[in-house]
Structure formats: structure tokens, C-alpha cells
Chains A and B, each alone.
Chain A
Amino acid sequence: MSAPALQTKSLVKRFGALVVSNDINFTLERGARHALIGPNGAGKTSFVNLVTGVLTPSSGEISLAGENITDLSRAQRVKRGLVRTFQISALFKKLTVLENVTLAIAEREGAANDLWRPAGHHRAIIEEAYDLLVPLGLADEALRPVTELAYGRQRMIEIAMAVALKPKVLLLDEPAAGVPPRETGAIIETIEKLPGDIAVLFIEHDMELVFRVAQRITVLVQGAVLVEGTPAEIADDPKVREVYLGESKH
């Protein structure tokens, strides 16, 4: 029997009287494509921050492939295969596309602790970074600074950097946020093409993306899990319609 890729038990986060995560029990199966949705302020990003170690939970437990990671640092969680992307592109803007991805791989390989050898001598790392850019159609722009690329392209680099870390669990925080509609197709494709052994949890407002990619959906409202199910179940759930889709007036 293998433990789920990611699991939280009774996860609570309070800021004084404000409860942003209220007793969240959540399971992400291995290789899953799981969406986390909910209205603004439902605590989706707080949940990701708790899981990745940006925030410390008030109580509860987080485990990665059966191992309790509640007290581990952000970097330690990444080393164990828990990787995230950011809602607003958080790239090294002035650096080139290739360098962004190279930095991630250098961390994964531990090369970044090397004080003496020039970065250029770690040639395998640079080649791997380049090879990651090719299928995303970013190879031609490898040597351009990230700022010069369109926002949709930057979102792809965001995903490329996460994949470069060879994650077991990938958390995508609104991968299509701020991307013009004609570019979302490419993002969806990129997510669909992610290796099957990576368990993917994504927060998203774009329902086209959610219903096309997700196998399971969890709805979060006011910091608590409202309901979880397959896309079909969620679409038909009256509670979800009421709270999330705003069809309470029927």
C-alpha cells in the first residue's frame, strides 16, 4: 500500500481571530490532476503557503508520500519533491530564460553550493535546461531576459522551472492568471503534457482549464472544504452552485 502523494490532516491556520484554514483534510493521490477552486478569499493560496512551508500551521499535519513534513523548511520540502509555482509570475526577471531554468536545476543537483568552479563548467545542467525549453517553444528565446517575453510565455517558464526540479507533487497557483485568452490554450497544453507520475494540484479561476484538466475538484469556501468530487459531481452539486457559481436566486 502506498501513501498518497500529499495529505493534510486537520490543518488549521489562524491569524488572531481570523481563521484562514479551518480543519482542512485533503488528499492528493499519486499522479492525480486535482483542482482547488473557490471564491476569492476562500483561503486557496493560504493553503498552498501552508503546504509549501511559507506559513506555519496553527495546528494539524502535512505529509508528503507518507512522511510528516509539517516542521520542514521550504527548501527541505522542495528537496523532497514538493514544488510550487506562483500566482503572479515570480521569475528572475532580469536574467535570461535559460538562466532561470539553469538556476533551478543547479539547486536540484546541489551544484549551487559550488563556490569555485564557473557555472559554465556545469555543462550538463545548461544542456538539460535548454532541452526543457524546446518542447515549450521557448528555445529561440533562451538567451533573452525574461522581461522581454509576453506574460503568457513567462507563465510557461514558471512551469518549466517547477518541472526542472523533478517534483513528485506540483502545486500550480493560478497558472493561467493574467494570461490573455488566446494564450491560455498553450498553458493548458503544457499542463496536460506534464509527466503522468507527477501529482498536480492546481488552483484556478479559469473554469475551462479546470474542467478540461482536473480529474478531481475540491471546493474551498471560507477556509474550509465545502465538497470534493469528480468534475461532473461538482458541476451538479447544488451547494457549489449556490456558494461558488452564485446561482442562489433560483
Chain B
Amino acid sequence: MTDLSSRDLTGDRKAVVDAFARRHRFKWYEAIPWIAAAACYFLFENYHALGAQIFATILFALSLDLLIGFAGIVTLGHAAFFGVGAYAAGVMAANGWHEPFSEVLVAAVLAAGVGFASGLIVLRTTGLTLLMQTLVVAALLQELANKWSSVTGGSDGLLGMKIDPIFGLYRFDLFGDTAYVYCLAVLFVGWLLARNIVYSSFGRSLTGIRENTNRMHAIGAPVDRRKIVIYTISAALAGVSGALIAQTTALVGLNTLALSKSGELIIMLVIGGIGRLYGAFIGVPLYMIAQDRFSQIDPIYWYFWIGLFMIFVVVFARGGVLGVFERFLQRRRSR
């Protein structure tokens, strides 16, 4: 009898541990965004430029999701790192360095540096104070870019960028064919990195910090250090996103550092669903395609419609599109 029950127990043990240990494995539905992206290349040949913008922005939103959704670090200044990346790539391209991948790398390193340095200061705070401090960091950088016009072009924006063909073979064309594939490929690498982090022990500890910071202190986690690490990584990804936008549009302006840039990004993430890794893949295309359509149909009032949609999401669709979808699946399963 005891023998039997202990055997049952070990059976349970393996089942439970397995269930827990296999969470990070790839699921079939994780292929959907990539299949969709490949399909769209052939389905919407006239929209490759927009597609490239969407992929770069998804990477930006993904980097924000690591902070807000996973580590619980709420920021209103994420554009700071996007802007640093955009200007880094832009200034290089306008001053004689034209190789795209090295520009992205420099953008990542510089943005990470700014993320690390500002993180050391702002991450000591939480809540409203943190919100204000992140906002201030972005505002400071924007003013710096404005005043330092000899390098950044100031309020006129940075012009005269020139980007070499990728691998010396694929030229950035007017239709965005190259940009589409290029941005998608970089997004894929960024997504792999983000996904790995989220499912790592480090990533789980970030979730712990989000859920209950005090408890993380109590189990001996170096909470401040973890926050700075993820802040730096997230800044690097945002910087890469900025570099992609700079390279594919050949234009960098002060708006890359603007509060509205950070705010818009949060809206996109909320629409898709925060803290789910795939919210960015849904929210960003929805928002940017809607923006593209509305700005043609109703160029003046299109923000009104987006605002109305946001209120709808917050009131009726908590957790964004993915949140609604999850609840729908749960209800069906419990039936």
C-alpha cells in the first residue's frame, strides 16, 4: 500500500516537474507572426515600406514590454533609447560610415550605455516618481539633440544619410523590398533574445519583482541590479529599433525622442496586450495600419478614433486583444 502510494507520488512528481520545466518550449502558434509576415510580403507588394516600419516598431514595443510587462518598470521615456539609436545610426550614415549592421551595433551599444547610466539614477524610484524621471531623461536628450544642431541637424532633422547595400548586395530601394526583409530579420533576432530572457531564470525573477518586489528582497534577490540589467538590455533593443527606422527612412528628427513617441508606444502595447511577449506583434500592426488608413481618410481627426478605441480597450477589453483572446479560450475550456 505504502509502496503503491509512493510510486504514485513519484509519477505525479515527474508529471508536475515536466509540466513546469517545459513551459519555454516553442508552441505552434508562435510561428504565426512569422508566417504572416512572410505571406504579407507577397500579398501586399505596395506596402513593403510600411511593413518595414511596423517590424522596427514591433521591436521597439517588445523592448518596452520587457520593462513594463515583465519587470513592472513603468516608463514614459522609452523614446530616449529609440532616439539615441536613431541618431547614432543617422549621424554615422551622414558622416561617411555607411555599413548598416555596424551602425545597428553602435546604436545598440550607445543606447545600452544611456540606459545603464540613466537606469542607475531613475530606477532607485518607483511609481509616479519613476514615470516623471524617465520622462525627464527623454526630454533632456531631446533638448540636447535640438541644441547640438551641428551634429544632429537640430529641428530640421538629420539629412543626407547614405546606407550601403546589405552584404554589399541588396540595395535599400524606394519600395522598401530590402527594408522589409532586413527589418524582419533583425526583429526575429531581437524576438529570440527577448523570448530567451523571458523564459530564463532571470526573466522569472523579473516577474517576481513585478508581482511583489518586497518578497524578492526577502528571498535575497539583488532587485536593483536585476532592474538595471533589464533596463540596459531593453534600451539596447530600443536603440536597434531606432537605428532600423533611421536607416530605412533615411531621416532622423527630434520626434524620435518625443514624449508622444513613448506614449504612442504604450498605447500600441496596451492594445495588443502587455506582458505577453506577443502583444507587440498585434498592437503595433493594428495601430500603424489604422494610422495609415485613418490618416488618409480623415487626416485631421484620426487621433480621435484611436482615442475612442483606446477607451474601449481599457473599459471592455482588459489585457488588450491577447487578454480578450485568453479569456475566450479559458471560458471555452471550462465549459
Contacts and interface: CB of A to CB of B under 8 A. Distances in A.
A107 B205 contact: yes
B21 interface: yes
B287 to A, nearest CB: 27
A52 B25 CA distance: 38
B21 A142 contact: no
A165 B220 contact: yes
Contacts of A116: 196-197, 200
A121 B21 contact: yes
A137 to B, nearest CB: 12
Contacts of A112: 201-202, 204-205, 221, 226
Contacts of A108: 219-220
Contact of B219 (A54, A78, A118): A78
Interface string A82-100: 0111100011111110110
B23 A52 contact: no
A122 B201 CA distance: 8
Contacts of B226: 112
B201 A114 contact: yes
Nearest to B21: A120
Interface stretch (A126-134, A211-219, A232-240): A126-134
Contacts of A249: none
Interface string B218-238: 111111001001000000000
A106 B216 CA distance: 11
A79 B196 CA distance: 27
A118 B196 CA distance: 7
B21 A126 contact: yes
Contacts of B23: 118-120
Nearest to A92: B211
B24 A120 contact: yes
Interface stretch (B8-16, B27-35, B138-146, B322-330): B8-16
A90 B200 contact: no
Nearest to A105: B219
A2 interface: no
Chain B: number of interface residues, binned into ranges: 35 or more
Interface string A107-150: 11001111111111111001100110010000110110000000
Interface residues of A, number: 50
Nearest to A81: B220
Contacts of B13: 127, 130-131, 139
Contact of A106 (B9, B22, B201): B201
B9 A117 contact: no
A95 B218 contact: no
Contact of B212 (A91, A122, A165): A91
Contacts of B148: none
B211 A95 contact: yes
Contact of A120 (B22, B205, B218): B22
A244 to B, nearest CB: 28
Nearest to A103: B208
A69 interface: no
Nearest to A109: B201
B220 A75 contact: yes
Query: B197, B203, B220, B221: which has the most chain A beta carbons within 10 Å?
Result: B220
Nearest to A122: B201
Tell me which of A83, A99, A106, A118 has the highest count of chain B C-beta atoms within 10 A of its own C-beta.
Answer: A118
B19 interface: yes
Contacts of B167: none
Nearest to A76: B220
Interface string A28-69: 000000000000000000000000101000000000000000
Contacts of A121: 21
Contacts of A92: 207-208, 211-212, 215
A115 B197 contact: yes
A91 B219 CA distance: 11
Contact of A165 (B17, B203, B219): B219
Contact of B17 (A83, A104, A123): A123
A12 interface: no
Interface of B: 9, 12-13, 16-17, 19-25, 196-197, 199-205, 207-208, 211-212, 214-223, 226, 229
Given A92-B208, A95-B211, A107-B220, 16 more contacts: A78-B219, A90-B215, A92-B212, A95-B208, A106-B204, A112-B201, A112-B204, A112-B221, A114-B201, A115-B196, A115-B197, A115-B200, A127-B13, A130-B17, A134-B9, A139-B13
5 closest A-B pairs by CB: A78-B220, A120-B21, A118-B24, A112-B205, A92-B211
7 contacts: A75-B223, A79-B220, A90-B215, A93-B212, A103-B219, A108-B219, A122-B201
